[in-house]
Structure 1
Amino acid sequence: MEIKDYYCIETAAPKHAGESSTYRSIHSANKLLTTPEDGIKTVYDLFHSAVKSHGKKEAMGTRKLIKEHVEEREIVRKVSGVEVKEKKKWSLYELGPYEFINYLEVYDISMALGSGLKNIGITTDSSLLFFAATSEKWLMTAQGSLSQSIPIVTAYETLGEDGITTSLEECATSAVFTDPSLLPKLVNPLKQCPLVKVIICSSDPSEKQAELIHAANPKVRLLTFHQLLKLGQDQPQPVVPPKADDVCCYMYTSGSTGKPKGVILLHRNIIAALGGINRILAQHINAKDYVLAYLPLAHIFEFIFEMCCFYWGAVLGYASPRTLTDASVTNCRGDMPEFRPTVIIGVPAVYELIKKGILTKVSSMPIHRQKIFSGALALKQYLLKHNLPGIASLDAVVFNKVKAATGGRLRYCIAGGAALAATTQAFLSTTLCPVLPGYGLTESCAGSFVLSPEQWHLYANSVGFPIPSIEFKLVDIPELDYYSNGNPPRGEVWIRGPAVCNGYLNRPDDNASSFTEDGWFKTGDVGELVKGNTLRLIDRKKNIVKSLNGEYIALEKIETQYLTSPLVSAVCAYADVNHTKPVVIVYPDEKALRAYLQKQKGSSFNGDPDATFSQLCQNKEVYNIILTNLISIGKGQNFASIELPQAVILSDFEWSPENDFLTASRKVKRQTIQRYYEKNIQEAYS
């Protein structure tokens, strides 16, 4: 298929003042797609069709935990020139090989689970909350629930007690699927939510964990996954197929700026999104592919992509972020090299880690090998740009060793969740495989824009073209000086179509401010049209701050670039109307920082590279090194002077969803971080 087939086109829809034309994929010029094929109207229809098509083909793979090895290691650090010994516990996981079940087996298990839910009294006017890590049990239980027309509710593992309580109350939830380790977080919500009848554990809870639940609410029944399965196998129930307009899922957003909202996703929304994604990617991803599944299923990106994989007949390999690589396993390989995926999906934070991991290994090589790598990288990028031969030879000599760390057969990486730096996309697309950026939101069932594999090197720094189940336009933001009739056209991205949800549960004010009467969803993202009518994201509307001199600073834009620094693990920028430049809060990459300081000892760094991490973060020379590094990156990206940091604040502890500095999808929780460092920010400006 020629690349031009993927271009988006202007429609004949009326154009209003302050708005661009309405654009669609050329695949849906006359009508937006609502399904991947006739007859599929619900997630249950999709599941049934996939099983019928793929039958005894492998569907899912999982690994059994053989043993958790807990080691106590003695670490020697130098503090003020004195050696200090510290003891720290490390967990290493010993895992078995991947074991697979086929599509028919997945179907039988899922239907039995659905019967089990009905047998314990879960009805269609209730819902089943999923508060658990991604696993095959999560997905099969969800399919079982939907086969009985019982809506599911998703909540991140990191959601706080207030958020859990809100989701239980708003969705009239009578059952919860969870992991034993998360049971303590359910204790207080259960005291406030009397409708909850049953808790289903993915594995056997300990006696202490079970006692916590019974103490919170003695009426709550505690079952395991296998007990629920047996209840359904012993007493099968007829399927109660859902309708297209039934609620499939209440998906709670991660709440990066406030209280989580429940997005109402109907079956027809999800099927339309899948139809659009399928139209673009089906010729590239198919039943021969092996897809690593490790992102939270409570995130729309993972949920929709796993649905797509079922439709395509691909094999899902379930993994854990803790055991993806060889670093945290023993007597076995990590999930990625063991499963050897052909496709992975990830958020920018994951791809930045992969890139930095590669660069760290390269930096440890002898100088002559580093030069060979850099030369091969530049040459391959030139060959790709000009469509010249010789790429296979470069891969064989240089880059196949890099690919071996992922199992050696990776074909595509798909990026979503937030903007991916163009430099990171180019680097990984050259060293590993094409990285395909996309863009979507929970409200659009993840699918909005994507680049197909043959386009990645032609439209760098964009999120691609609209999928055929949505249309979009840009709307002026006069207060930020973004205009849809500018050159290039810029404005807030509005989307509409069958993949877009109807609104939020019990949030009339949010619905009124986010959705128009004629169906447009105001994404809050600022975009611009670039080459070939592809969309490039600039920032979130709420993250664009007016500075003292009247110019605007796009915080997410500069964070995306500063995150590419090998010395940086996480970053959050702050700016306000009282100052001309931003202050950048940085959580340094400790390992990379120590290695760099060791090399710079005696030149730009005269301190002790073996000092505690906290001491390094307070060291003035380290401060200057990181500040200079960020300024250099900014200048390399042609940042305006106002986008370069006035100062940095170095954070000496890891940012994570657990401490509320990151969302479950690894986005910074700006307000939390800024509140925590409020005093430091004031001192930095003074």
Structure 2
Amino acid sequence: MEIKDYYCVETNTPRQTGESHTYRSIHSANKLLTTPEDGVKTVYDLFHGAVKSHGVREAMGTRKLIKEHVEEREIIRKVNGTQVAEKKTWKLYELGPYEFMNYIQTYDIALALGSGLKVNGITTDSSLLFFAGTSEKWFLTAQGSISQSIPIVTAYETLGEDGVITSLQECSSSAIFTDPTLLPKLVNPIKHCPLVKVIICSSEPSEEQSDLVHSANPDIKLLTYHQLLKLGQEHPQPVLAPKADDVCCYMYTSGSTGKPKGVVLLHRNIIAALGGINRILSQHINDKDYVLAYLPLAHIFEFIFEMCCFYWGGVLGYASPRTLTDASVVNCRGDMPEFRPTVIIGVPAVYELIKKGILTKVSAMPVHRQKIFSGSLALKQYLLKRNLPGTGTLDAIVFNKVKAATGGRLRYCVSGGAALAATTQAFLSTTLCPVLPGYGLTETCAGSFVLSPEQWHLYANSVGFPVPSIEFKLVDIPELNYYSNGSPPRGEVWIRGPAVCNGYLNRPDDNASSFTEDGWFKTGDVGELAKGNTLRLIDRKKNIVKSLNGEYIALEKIETQYLTSPLVSSVCAYADVNHVKPVVIVYPDEKALRACLLKHKGKSFSGDTEAAFSQLCENKEVQNIVLADLIAIGKAQKFAAIELPHAVILSNFEWSPENNFLTASRKVKRQTIEQFYRTQIQEVYS
């Protein structure tokens, strides 16, 4: 297909004052898509149809845990100015090979699970809450619930007690699907939610875990996944298929700020989104592909893409972030090299880690091999931009060795959840395979924009074109000096179409502020109409801060670039109206930082490179070295002077969803971080 087929076009909708034209995919210029094919109106229709189409083909694979290996390692921490040795427990996992089930087997299991739910009294006027990690059991139990028209509710496993209570109460949940390790987090919620009658565990809980649950509510029935499955097999119930306008899912947002909201997704919303994504990507991803599944299924991005994979007839390989690579497994390979995916989906934080991992290995090579790698990288990018031959030769000689770490057959990476740095996209697209950025929100069922494989090198720094199930426009933000009639047009991205939800559950004020009466969803994202009518994201409205001199700083924009530094594992920028430049808070990559300090030893660094990590983070010379690196990146990206950091603060502990510094989708929780480092921020500004 010619690239021009992906262009988006202006519609005939009259342009309003303060707004851009309305744009659609050329595939849906006259009518937006509502389904991938006739007859598919619900998630059940899609699941059932996929089973009929793909039959005994492999559908999904999982690995069994053979053994957990526990190691004790000594680490040095600085406590009240004194170095203290502490012992830390490390877990390594020994896993078996992937074992697969076919499409017919998944359908039979899902229907039995649905029957088990119905036998346990779970009805269509209640719901089933998923509070668990991603697994084939999560996916199949959800399909079972849907086969009985029981809405599902998704909550991140890192959601706090208050968030779990809110979701249970708002959605009238009478059952919970969870992992045994998460049962302690449910003790308080089930005390406050008497409607909960059944808890289904993905595996057998310990006696202690069971006792915790029954101490909170002795009447709760505690079942394992296999017990529910067996119950349904012994007492099969007729399918109660949902309708297009029925609720499929109440999906709770991760809540990077404020209280999590339940997004009400109807079956027709999800099917429309699938139809749009299918129209663009089905020519490239098909029944010969192996897709690695490891992101949270509570995230709309993972949920939608797994459904797409199922529809296309691909094979899902379930994995864990803990065991993706060889680093944390023993006597076996990591999930990625074992499964050997052809497609992976991920968020920018994952791709930054992959890039830094490649660069770390390259930096350990002899100098002449480093030069070969750098020269090959530059040459391949030159050839790609000019559509010249020779890239295959470079792959065979240089880059296939990089791809081997992922299993050797990777064809595409799909990125979503946040903006991906153009330099990272270009690097990985050259060394591994095309990285396809996309854009969407829970409220729009994820994939609203996507870049097709042959376009990545043509539209750098964009999230691509709209899928055929949505239309969009840009709306002026006068207070931030973004105007839709500017050159280029800029403004808040508004999205409308059958893939867009109707609103939030029990949030009338949020609905009034986020949705218009004629169906537009105000995303809160600032966008720019770029080359070929692609969309480029600038930042979130709430992350654009006016500085002391009256100019605006887009925090997420600069974070995206600073995250590309090998020295940076996580980053959060802070700016306010009382100061000209931002302060950047960094959790450094310890290994890369120590290697960097060795190079600066005797020059800009006079300390001990073997000092405790916490001590290095407090060292002014170390802070200045990191600051200089970030400033160099900013200048290379042509940042304005006010976007270059005034100072850096180095964090000496890892940021994670567990400590509330990151959301489950790996976005920074800005308010938490700013509050934690408030004193240091004031000190560096003073």
Contact 1:152-1:250 at 8 Å conserved across structures: yes
Alignment partner of 1:436 is 2:436: yes
**CA offset at residue 609 of structure 1?**
1.1
SS across alignment from 1:405:
helix
- Assess, with a 3 A threshold, how the Cα gap between structure 1 residues 513 and 78 changes in structure 2: closer, same or farther: closer
Distance 2:168 2:455 in 1: 43
Unaligned runs of 5+ in 2: none
- Once the two structures are superposed, the pairs formed by residues 101-140 of structure 1 within 5 Å of their partners are 101-140=101-140
SS across alignment from 1:413:
strand
- Assess, with a 3 A threshold, how the Cα gap between structure 1 residues 76 and 549 changes in structure 2: closer, same or farther: closer
Unaligned runs of 5+ in 1: none
Distance 1:462 1:88 in 2: 43
Structure 2: which amino acid aligns with 1:148? Q
RMSD: 1.4
Structure 1: which amino acid aligns with 2:33? L
| Structure 2 counterpart of 1:631 | 631
| Structure 1 counterpart of 2:312 | 312
**CA offset at residue 447 of structure 1?**
1.7
- Assess, with a 3 A threshold, how the Cα gap between structure 1 residues 104 and 369 changes in structure 2: closer, same or farther: same
Contact 2:465-2:535 at 8 Å conserved across structures: yes
Alignment partner of 1:163 is 2:163: yes
| Structure 2 counterpart of 1:425 | 425
Contact 1:573-1:585 at 8 Å conserved across structures: yes
**CA offset at residue 147 of structure 1?**
0.2
Alignment partner of 1:591 is 2:591: yes
Structure 2: which amino acid aligns with 1:169? Q
Structure 1: which amino acid aligns with 2:442? T
| Structure 1 counterpart of 2:487 | 487
Distance 1:312 1:511 in 2: 34
| Structure 1 counterpart of 2:174 | 174
- Once the two structures are superposed, the pairs formed by residues 177-196 of structure 1 within 5 Å of their partners are 177-196=177-196
**CA offset at residue 144 of structure 1?**
0.2
Distance 2:681 2:541 in 1: 22
**CA offset at residue 114 of structure 1?**
0.2
SS across alignment from 2:36:
coil
Q: Deviations over 1:190-239 (max 9, x none)?
A: 00000000000000000000000000011111000000001100010000
Contact 1:447-1:499 at 8 Å conserved across structures: no
**CA offset at residue 396 of structure 1?**
1.0
- Once the two structures are superposed, the pairs formed by residues 123-272 of structure 1 within 5 Å of their partners are 123-272=123-272
Q: Deviations over 1:244-300 (max 9, x none)?
A: 000000000000011000000000000000000000000000000000000000000
User: Mean alpha-carbon deviation: is it higher for 159-168 or for 355-364?
Assistant: 355-364
SS across alignment from 1:383:
helix
SS across alignment from 1:98:
strand
Distance 1:86 1:159 in 2: 29
Scaled by the length of structure 2, the TM-score of the pair is 0.99
- Once the two structures are superposed, the pairs formed by residues 421-570 of structure 1 within 5 Å of their partners are 421-570=421-570
**How many percent identity over aligned positions?**
85
Scaled by the length of structure 1, the TM-score of the pair is 0.99
User: Mean alpha-carbon deviation: is it higher for 598-607 or for 289-298?
Assistant: 598-607
**CA offset at residue 599 of structure 1?**
2.5
Contact 2:83-2:612 at 8 Å conserved across structures: no
Structure 2: which amino acid aligns with 1:129? L
Structure 1: which amino acid aligns with 2:318? Y
SS across alignment from 2:599:
helix
| Structure 1 counterpart of 2:96 | 96
| Structure 1 counterpart of 2:406 | 406
Structure 2: which amino acid aligns with 1:110? A
Structure 2: which amino acid aligns with 1:467? V
Structure 1: which amino acid aligns with 2:136? E
Structure 1: which amino acid aligns with 2:5? D
Distance 2:219 2:87 in 1: 44
**CA offset at residue 620 of structure 1?**
1.1
Q: Deviations over 1:10-49 (max 9, x none)?
A: 0000100000000000000000000000000000000000
Contact 2:114-2:144 at 8 Å conserved across structures: yes
**CA offset at residue 78 of structure 1?**
11
Contact 1:78-1:610 at 8 Å conserved across structures: no
**CA offset at residue 601 of structure 1?**
1.6
Q: Deviations over 1:370-408 (max 9, x none)?
A: 111111110110010111111111111111111000000
Across the two proteins, how many residue pairs are aligned to each other? 686
| Structure 2 counterpart of 1:72 | 72
**CA offset at residue 637 of structure 1?**
0.4
Contact 1:538-1:554 at 8 Å conserved across structures: yes
SS across alignment from 1:233:
helix
Distance 2:221 2:29 in 1: 53
| Structure 2 counterpart of 1:343 | 343
| Structure 2 counterpart of 1:377 | 377
Distance 1:502 1:490 in 2: 26
Distance 2:251 2:413 in 1: 25
**CA offset at residue 76 of structure 1?**
7.9
User: Mean alpha-carbon deviation: is it higher for 510-519 or for 69-78?
Assistant: 69-78
SS across alignment from 2:603:
coil
- Assess, with a 3 A threshold, how the Cα gap between structure 1 residues 86 and 212 changes in structure 2: closer, same or farther: closer
Structure 1: which amino acid aligns with 2:170? E
Distance 1:266 1:376 in 2: 49
**CA offset at residue 572 of structure 1?**
0.5
Structure 2: which amino acid aligns with 1:578? N
